[in-house]
Amino acid sequence: MKSSVQMPTPLNERPLVERLPSRPNQPSTVKEMPYALFSTIPPERIGLNGEYDHNGLSKRVLAAFRESVAIAEIEDLRVTQRGRVVILMGRLPHSRVLAQLRKIAMSMDGTGDVETTGIRIS
């Protein structure tokens, strides 16, 4: 007499790609999923030389600042990023310098916004 109880397949023998629930207009297996999303580097993660860099946007923005503004005006400036947001912190000599830096940062590929709440004008 045959038993109707199925024994579970050991973990190491299970297929790596299992069938996912079918949904309209979506791939049914992991193997069929398009990876175009992962084949390019997001613009905010592109480094100075085109490589992947988690802080690439802030490094590119700082390099652009150094090319466009006198070093003495931005010596007390820190540039960081949170995703696509460039964060400026520190002290600047004039508000016109802040406006210029904001314009430069917004022109960079990958910038969504510029946060300037950490800037002091003195």
pTM of the model: 0.69
Residue 37 lies in a domain: no
Structural domain total, the chain: 1
Q: Cβ(37)–Cβ(48) under 8 Å?
A: no
Residue 24 lies in a domain: no
Q: What is the pLDDT of residues 2-57, one digit of tens each?
A: 556 665 655 555 555 555 555 556 555 545 555 555 689 999 999 999 999 999 99
Residue 7 lies in a domain: no
Q: Cβ(58)–Cβ(78) under 8 Å?
A: no
Interstrand relation of 113-121 and 77-82 (parallel, antiparallel or unpaired): unpaired
Dihedral angle computed from the Cα positions of residues 57, 81, 70 and 120, in that order, rounded to the nearest 10 degrees: 160
Domain that holds residue 82: 43-121
pLDDT of res. 46: 96
CATH of the domain at 86: 3.30.70
pLDDT of res. 96: 96
Residue 21 lies in a domain: no
pLDDT higher than 90, residue 82: yes
Q: Which residue has the higher pLDDT, 63 or 17?
A: 63
Angle of helix 56-68 versus helix 95-107 axis, rounded to 10? 130
